[in-house]
Structures are given as structure tokens and as C-alpha cells.
Structure 1
């Protein structure tokens, strides 16, 4: 007996990507898994691909791409020259404004990034921040306290365990509305209307033939759904 496979099932293409809980950009419980997840999914869907997301802690999200033959990329990632040697970076899928969160009554006073060396600063382990800041961290010129998540870093600021924390402003705004413990302290927390920088967000693919192919597919899909404007130079 001959069984016919539906044409759609026979031609379905699938890509598995690794990501993390990083609302409002990505998250299991967010509508469409978050604004950046939706963009990535829409772009691949426009090219005939079905997308599956694997949500894990950030370091594992990257490790999964290195070790798994099925997970071919991860997101959202900031560009870094070091990671560009290992992964293929997609066109821009969004922007991430990064600042130093602090308590109003204990401000972190800084004009240059080097000024931050005077304070104990919270970072998320495994995150890239900005080139200038990360260079000073790598040189051992910063007093750093590492945490597993942005939420942990925000709590450290609230409890005066660190003087400031490097946090994406949109992530902080989301947490400050979603968590009542942070909401009630909003008036006591500030970025002083200053940013360390604005980073472009990307999908990183394995640096092999399949990764190169998926990168081309995603970039074309972004253009197809009208998001080519995201790759402008407005944040340089």
C-alpha cells in the first residue's frame, strides 16, 4: 500500500535556535515568546521555515550551539570580534540600550567608562556589554560582581550589595513593572539619563555551511517582512 505524504509536510523546513529568558525581547510566557523572538520567527516563516526555540540560561544557550548538531544558532547577541571568529552574525534584529542602574541616594558619578572603576559594578556572567567597558574588565581594571541574571543584579542594587549594575534599559523597565518588589522602589532607582551604549542585536549561527545558509535565509526574510530598516546606521 502506498502512503502519500502531504506536500506541506514533505517540504517543511525547520530551524532550532537557542535563546534565554530576557523579557521583553524573549521569554517563554511572553506573547509570541517576545518581540525579538516574533521578529525572528516571522522572518523565517516568510522564507518557508518553521522555527523552534529552546529556552535556557544564557551560557547554556551558547554552549548548546557549540555542542548540539540540531541547534544551529542562538540569539539575541551583541556583536563582538571574539565571537565573530566562532559564529556568523545575522543582520540587525533590534537594539539594546545599556545603562548603569543605581540608587538615587548613592549615585554612580561617571563621565568616561574608566570612571566606573571606582565602584563595585554588577554584571551578568557571560554577557557582552560594550567594547570599552569589557576591555577594562578583561584588563582587571574594574571591580566586578557577577550574577546569573539581570534580575539578580537589580536586586543587588536595591540591597546595596553593588553600587551599580549594567542593565539593558528595556529589560529593567519590564522587570520594574512586572515585579512588585521592584515596582515599589522605582522612584529610588535611576540611570541618570546616561547610557553606556546602544548595542545592535543579532542571531548567531554556527560557522559552517548550514549556518551560512540559514544566515542568508534569515537576512532575506527580514527584508521580505519589511525590517531592512533595522540595519540602518542610526545607532553608530
Structure 2
């Protein structure tokens, strides 16, 4: 029965190669993370809502996640060098697209302009803020709409390492405005400022800017394309199960100051 033996041999060969391929498929990804409540934090349940979303998406395709918490600049550099596999949640810029592989968007959130009510702002377009000092985080793309005014010196930028420092500067009048996501901005206000300082902080309803957020994976690792494809598939799965909407609920309900 030569044909039967040949068929059996072919099936065994396919099984062997299939098993080898499956064995080579990574079942864990190492991601750098940071402090940006309520989205990401080492002290929050599930490391924050965005971390929980990433964990769930990878879990849906059989991949575990290991998180390492670092200052944001270092978090990105470690992935750029391939020391860690990926990082999130980041907006795309031409430079980041050149350095990293990017996932489909996780979600889109609105940036607003925060100000100190003791020095109220009346602005509806970036040009209305000429001569002001903008507070911003290191490695943050927030404030992109002000880039031409920053480049020509019409707006000065003061950069700090975290949201606590950023909103403390705003409360003390050391900067005139801060572009940040509405949710994370008020989260920082409520967590880091005194009740009296909290009452001073508001945001402009006339100026918003939409940002889409992504997982970034190093181009220095062999499994980069596999991780991106797997994550995108995982996102679709958890959207279908309803887990996506359950996890990001906290992200789309900004806190306000009474």
C-alpha cells in the first residue's frame, strides 16, 4: 500500500512541522508601562484601565503580558533598543512610526486645554494663546496644535516629568495652560492638588483635539510583526465579547471638580 504509506508520511511531516511552528510562537510579551492614572499605574487594579485592555486583548489570543514600570522617556528608549518588546499607550507621530511598529488604534480620547481660573483664558483657537507659557510632559505629543507657535517663539514651553508637577505648576501660576486629556487631567488635579487648588482649575470647552492611542512594538525584535497582528486580532475579539466596552468605561467618563 505505497499510497497509504506516502499519505501517512505526509501527515506525520505536516504534524511535525506544525508542532514546531506552534512551539516557536511566543506566548508572552514584555511591555514597558508608566504612571498615567487612570489609564496606567503600578498602584491601580490591573495596572489601570488601558493596561487591563492590553492584557485582555493579548489574553484573547493566548499571549501573557509582563509589565515593567519606568519613567516615560526610558520606557520608550528601552523598546526602541529592543530591550523590551513594546510599550503603550502612545499617539503616532512620523518619528514614532519610523522607529516602531504600531497597532490599530486602541481608542480615541479628547485633549482639552486646562487653565487656572485666577488667570482665566479666553481662547477659541491656538493663536489666541500667543505670549503664554504652556506646561507639558517630557515625551508627550500633547499640544501638537500649538507647534507652529512654539517653533516661532510665540508660545514658551515648560516641560516636566509627571502630571503631579505639571498641575502643581498650573495651580501656582507658573504656567498659563496645560494641554492634557480631560480624564487624566482631572485625575491628576484630584489626586495631587489641595481642595483650594482644585477649585482653581478648569478647562476650555472651545478647544479640543482628538488623539488615537496605539501599542508600539520594537522593530529590533524578530516577533514584532507577530505581536502586532496578534494584538489587533485580540482587540477585535474583545470588542465582540463586550469586554472592550466594559474595560474602557472609566476612560470615557471624565471626573469634574464641583
TM over 0.5, shorter chain: yes
Name the SS for the 2:101 alignment partner. Answer: strand
Change (3 A) 1:140 1:62: farther
Change (3 A) 1:213 1:11: closer
Correspondence for 2:223 among 200, 210, 215: 210
Moved more, 91-100 or 72-81: 91-100
Correspondence for 2:39 among 25, 39, 42: 25
Using the alignment, how far apart are the partners of 1:97 and 1:182 within structure 2? 25
**CA offsets 1:156-211 (integer angstroms, 9 cap, x no match):** 011111111222211122123333x3444322211032343021111111135421
Q: Contact (CA 8 Å) 2:167, 2:188: kept in 1 or not? A: no
Change (3 A) 1:101 1:90: same
In the TM superposition, residue 215 of structure 1 has moved relative to its aligned partner by 0.5
Q: Contact (CA 8 Å) 2:31, 2:87: kept in 1 or not? A: yes
Match of 1:124 in 2: 137
Match of 2:91 in 1: 78
Higher helix share: 2
- 1:200 paired with 2:212, answer yes
Moved more, 105-114 or 51-60: 105-114
Moved more, 51-60 or 141-150: 141-150
Match of 2:64 in 1: 50
Correspondence for 1:37 among 51, 55, 64: 51
Moved more, 10-19 or 23-32: 10-19
TM-score by length of 2: 0.77
Q: Contact (CA 8 Å) 1:108, 1:119: kept in 2 or not? A: no
TM-score by length of 1: 0.84
State the superposition RMSD in angstroms: 2.4
Q: Contact (CA 8 Å) 1:36, 1:94: kept in 2 or not? A: no
Name the SS for the 1:16 alignment partner. Answer: strand
Residues 108-119 of structure 1 aligned to structure 2 (within 5 Å) = 108-119=121-132
In the TM superposition, residue 11 of structure 1 has moved relative to its aligned partner by 7.9
Q: Contact (CA 8 Å) 2:40, 2:49: kept in 1 or not? A: yes
Q: Which runs of 5+ in 1 are unaligned?
A: 1-8, 231-236
Q: Report the number of matched residues.
A: 220
Correspondence for 2:200 among 177, 188, 192: 188
Using the alignment, how far apart are the partners of 2:51 and 2:227 within structure 1? 16
Q: Contact (CA 8 Å) 1:12, 1:48: kept in 2 or not? A: no
Correspondence for 2:75 among 48, 57, 61: 61
Residues 77-226 of structure 1 aligned to structure 2 (within 5 Å) = 77-179=90-192, 181-207=193-219, 209-226=222-239
